[in-house]
Amino acid sequence: MKKTLFLLLISTSFILIGCNNDKNNLNSQTSTIIQTNNSNTNNKLSSFLISPDTVYPTQFISSTNSLIFPNWDDNNKISIINDPIPQSIITSKDIVKFFNYSTHTLTIQGDIIYFADASNNNSLSSINIIDGTYKKLNSHNVSNLLLTGNNLLYINKTDGKLYSYDTIDKTSKIIINNVVGKYLLNGNYILYENKSDFSKLYKTNLEGTEDGQVTTFSVNSFATYNNYIVAINSNDNNNLYKIDPETLRATRIALINGENLKTFKNTLYFINLDKSNYLYSLDINDSNNQVSLSPIINQGINEYYPSKKGFFVQIRSNVNNTYIFKPN
């Protein structure tokens, strides 16, 4: 699964490193495989299948002909740029429309943008993209907003629990009673970092009725890949583990010291802490658990958001502008 991603920049020294030029094979690091049996008598988790569709909360929402996002260069105001998006960097001059509301998380359903209103204690709010009609929906302190069907998922920072908001009947309910850190949606299941249990990985369905433990170790990030789960083990120097969703057996497959693991179009990405927070891609050979790493960006980054319009990146040396690179 080799990919070459080209970073297209105009006014910066942001440099792309070709995947084929520096491919690191980790076979020597994984010759001794460590397996961890995660099963325990208190684990209520039943086996489940991994879906090909994984969704993360994001700050960048791709609409049909536009991109909607909080503009880091303008106090995180909700902003819109039209296609084609800039080739290298987003600046305020690219904005074709903005709303005078700041946010750190948002999503869209039809003509309605749902977001956490930063000026109103991050309350769940909506704005009509056509006429600008604003509504406050509830008083929860919202973060990590995600849309699935007619429901919004989000973390209420007041109690740390994961909630669902029905956009049809305008009601909220708790999905996860534990304190939630990072989470993702895979098909009809939610994988989440359970901060009530030392940041171990847990899983539940969208009704919250199949809550159970997935790992016995703490995770700093995790993703789905092919038919299994991959996670970065915080208890083992941020190394990479592979988890069978049926048996819950965990296997260490690479020494990477990474964070912010994500999957996009069946490719894994992470921030490499041993390489000055550069962005790397990661390829796993399922037949022998051999892992190969490829550097993508040779500049330290804080965060990245994959999307079909490109990857939107915040680099450490310039947190006010959004940098863009696109898959080949």
Distance CA 172, CA 314 (A): 32
In which residue are the tokens 């099963």 written? 39
Residues belonging to the chain: 328
pLDDT higher than 70, residue 327? no
Cβ count near 212 (within 10 Å): 14
User: What residues contact residue 183 under an 8 Å CB cut-off, 6+ apart?
Assistant: 57, 144, 153, 155, 162, 190, 191, 192, 193
Distance CA 209, CA 217 (A): 23
Mean per-residue pLDDT of the chain: 88
Distance CA 143, CA 126 (A): 14
Amino acid at 104: H
Domain spans in the chain, listed from the N-terminal domain onward: 54-177, 189-327
| More confident site: 161 or 35 | 161
63-67, 257-261, 286-290: which is most confident? 257-261
pLDDT higher than 50, residue 5? no
The SS3 of residue 12 is coil
| pLDDT for residue 46 | 57
Cα Rg for the chain, rounded, in angstroms?
A: 20
Question: What is the CATH architecture of 54-177?
Answer: 6 Propeller (2.120)
Residue 269: band (very low, low, confident or very high) from pLDDT cuts 50, 70, 90: very high
Of 3.40.50.720, 2.120.10.80, 3.40.50.300, 3.90.480.20, the CATH number of 189-327 is: 2.120.10.80
Residues 103/118, Cβ–Cβ less than 8 Å: yes
Q: Is 126 exposed, middle or buried (0-12, 13-18, 19+ CB in 10 A)?
A: buried
Q: Do domains 54-177 and 189-327 have the same CATH topology?
A: yes
109-142: per-residue pLDDT in tens?
A: 999 999 999 999 999 999 999 999 999 999 999 9
Closest CA to 78 of 57, 59, 53, 56: 59
Chain-centre distance for alpha carbon 313 = 12
Note the pTM of the prediction, 2 decimals: 0.88
217-254: per-residue pLDDT in tens?
A: 999 999 999 999 999 999 999 999 999 999 999 999 99
pLDDT higher than 70, residue 108? yes
| pLDDT for residue 15 | 39
| More confident site: 283 or 327 | 283
| Partners of residue 112 on adjacent β-strands | 109, 128
